[in-house]
Amino acid sequence: MTENNNKTNLSQIDEKIYELLSKFKGKLAPTIIIIVLCAFALLSSFFTIKPAEVGVVLRFGKESRMATPGLHFKLPFGIEKVYKVEIERQFKEEFGFRTLRAGIKTQYSTKSFIEESLLLTGDLNAAEVEWIVQYRIENPYNFLFKIREPVQTLRDINESVMREIIGDRTINEVLTIGREEIAVEALEKTQLLATKYETGIKVYRVVIQSVFPPERVKASFNEVNQAQQERQKMINQAQQEYNKIIPRAKGEATKIIEEAEGYKLERVNIAQGEASRFNSIFTEYLKAPEITKTRIYLETMEDVLQTVDHKIITEKEIMGMLPLYDLSAKGVK
């Protein structure tokens, strides 16, 4: 009896639940759909921009605004779409080689990229050039929508520019002194074309990593370089000897010339002085010959007698006699 009563109660409860579900059956599905749509709209209405990024917000496919780093709101259901671009990061493109893993021991790809690195020089020689282009995204909208595959376009531009520049130079310039000039010119021309094509990219540096002759002719190039180095060595040695000998010889020649000029000036001055003195004496002699001769004689004797320690003076009247002089005395002249 008790079991029958329990079954009756359960049947009544089931009927009531069924009646309630029947009442809400027509309203439950739309309610669930609305709740799901609201949740999706709420979740898709917020987005975050990282510190190194900027967001380009499009409304119905047209640029609406730029989103700076932080939390932002947008219209859901595809009305507004956000494209994130890293504008603070510096990117690089490698030509002629690829880096697999950077670090203390950088690993490079063993694959050959000869189609990129093999360039023809202006003197019809070949050189393998490996270089890097460093750039940043300056205009996010142009980078995303103005041109298809902007990075590949930048690679094509830079490779074309590099081939043009190296095609105007000799192999010696490319291998030695011309590398810095090539890098600077490649940077300027690449940026000019990147701006013209509206890539939205700002090129910061072009770095030539290495330049070497192709493997097939490397031995011949090494021999030529060695011969050029020997030639330059001989030129430097000859220049060193020249700098050592020629300036010294020039200095000695200058010294001799200056001494000769000094001697010449001295002799000319002495001669001119003697001539002036003779002319003045001759003028006086013409005026008074006897007096002038006496004066000259006295002046001469004065100069001569000053060099004699002992002097013997005799009278003119006794010159007919034979005087006896002790010439052995010390100091007698």
> Which has more pLDDT, 272 or 220?
272
* Sign of the dihedral through C-alpha 145, 149, 154, 160: negative
Which structure tokens are listed for 7? 């079954």
| DSSP SS3 for 331 | coil
CATH superfamily of 91-212: Band 7 domain (3.30.479.30)
Average pLDDT over residues 281-298: 78
Which residues lie closer than 8 Å to 160 by C-beta, 6 or more apart?
none
Q: What is the pLDDT of residues 12-54, one digit of tens each?
A: 555 655 565 555 555 556 666 677 667 666 667 888 999 999 9
Residues whose CB is less than 8 angstroms from the CB of residue 67 and which lie 6 or more positions away in sequence, other chains included: 47, 49, 54, 55, 56, 57, 82
Pairing of strands 70-73, 201-212: unpaired
**Residue with token string 């000799």:** 170
Domain boundaries, the chain: 13-86, 91-212
Regarding pTM above 0.75, the answer is no
Quick one: pLDDT at residue 138?
A: 94
Q: Averaged over 118-144, what is the pLDDT?
A: 93
For the segment 155-206, what is each residue's pLDDT rounded down to a tens digit? Answer: 999 999 999 999 999 888 888 888 899 999 999 999 999 999 999 999 999 9
**b/e map 105-125, b = 16+ CB within 10 Å:** eeeeeeeeeeebbebebeeeb
How high is the mean pLDDT of the chain? 82
Average pLDDT value for residue range 125-138: 93
- How many angstroms separate the CA atoms of 131 and 158, rounded? 10
List the beta bridge partners of residue 207: 132
Give the three-class secondary structure for 148.
Answer: coil
pLDDT digits (tens, 9 = 90+) for 270-288: 888 888 888 887 787 777 7
Indicate the burial class of 83 (C-beta count within 10 angstroms; 0-12, 13-18, 19 or more): middle
Answer yes or no: is pLDDT of 60 > 50.
yes
